[in-house]
Amino acid sequence: MSLEARTPLEGYEEYDPQDMQARIDSFTHNLKRRRTVRDFSTKAVDRKIIERAIEAAGTAPSGANHQPWHFVVIADPTRRTALRRAAEVEEQSFYEAKAGSEWLEALAPLGTDASKPFLESAPVVIAVFAQKRGGVTVGQDMKNYYINESCGIACGFMLAAFHEAGLVTLTHTPNPMRFLNKLCERPDTEKAYMLIVAGHPDSDATVPEHALIKKSLSDISDWI
Ligand code: IYR
């Protein structure tokens, strides 16, 4: 295969206009039901579901197609306990000192605090790592590009996949997250990007009313 080899586009499907509208209506309607949830039940999630969500994330577009991500499913209970402890230490100093009043004021309607029991009890916790170096195949050592953009899109795909499967998710970013490299045995060339927590909602799960406020189409867009 030469470097510039090209191949016909496969798998593309065109829909007639009515179908197109119905499909995008249904997709958007479904995404509008997605909520960030912090109250997880302990009900197990099949490994195959988690693997599919990772595969969905891995289809995201990325800088030079280097796919600069690595997903670590933290399943081991001992590591979960260590994760919770380390994250809560960081969060305590965040809420008590680092955040500052403006940030705390923005968070107040969410009702979050330094306590993160879901890191131990939720059925799925995935640490997403952004790779500073890599390449299109494993083992290459080239510079990666647009790492944050690429990983952000991949995480979005993963959230949509879990939602599609009838699971709820939480994006969590303990700050700083350096401790995650050691906990997940990842090299220094990777940067912990995000924790994605997933599972079934607890039977008495609640969400903040604040989270239901969504900007309208006209608020978020313009045609020029
Ligand atoms: N990482 C902290 C604080 C936090 C920050 C933002 I911005 C949020 O949208 C939610 C939480 C925590 O997880 O509590």
At 4-49, the pLDDT tens digits run: 999 999 999 999 999 999 999 999 999 999 999 999 999 999 999 9
Q: Are strands 190-199 and 168-172 parallel, antiparallel or unpaired?
A: antiparallel
DSSP assignment, residue 36? B
Ligand 1 pocket mutation pick from 83, 94, 102, 170 by most atoms within 8 angstroms of CB: 94
List the Cα angle 56/57/58 in 5-degree steps.
90
Burial label for 213, CB within 10 Å (0-12, 13-18, 19+), is exposed
pTM above 0.85, yes or no: yes
Say whether pLDDT at 82 is over 90. yes
Which ligand 1 atom sits closest to the C-alpha of 174?
1
Say whether pLDDT at 64 is over 80. yes
Ligand 1 pocket mutation pick from 98, 107, 197 by most atoms within 8 angstroms of CB: 107
pLDDT average, residue stretch 123-129: 98
Which ligand 1 atom sits closest to the C-alpha of 112?
14
pLDDT average, residue stretch 181-203: 97
C-beta of 21 in contact with ligand 1 (< 6 A): no
pLDDT bin (cut points 50, 70, 90) of residue 174 is confident
If you measure from the C-alpha of residue 91 to the centroid of ligand 1, how many angstroms do you get, rounded to a whole number? 9
If you measure from the C-alpha of residue 38 to the centroid of ligand 1, how many angstroms do you get, rounded to a whole number? 11
Say whether pLDDT at 1 is over 70. no
Determine which residue's CA is closest to atom 7 belonging to ligand 1: 107
* Cα dihedral 76→77→80→85 (10° resolution): -140
pLDDT of 2 reads: 74
pLDDT of 6 reads: 97
Average pLDDT value over all residues in the chain = 97
Percent of all residues in the chain with a pLDDT value above 70, rounded to a whole number: 100
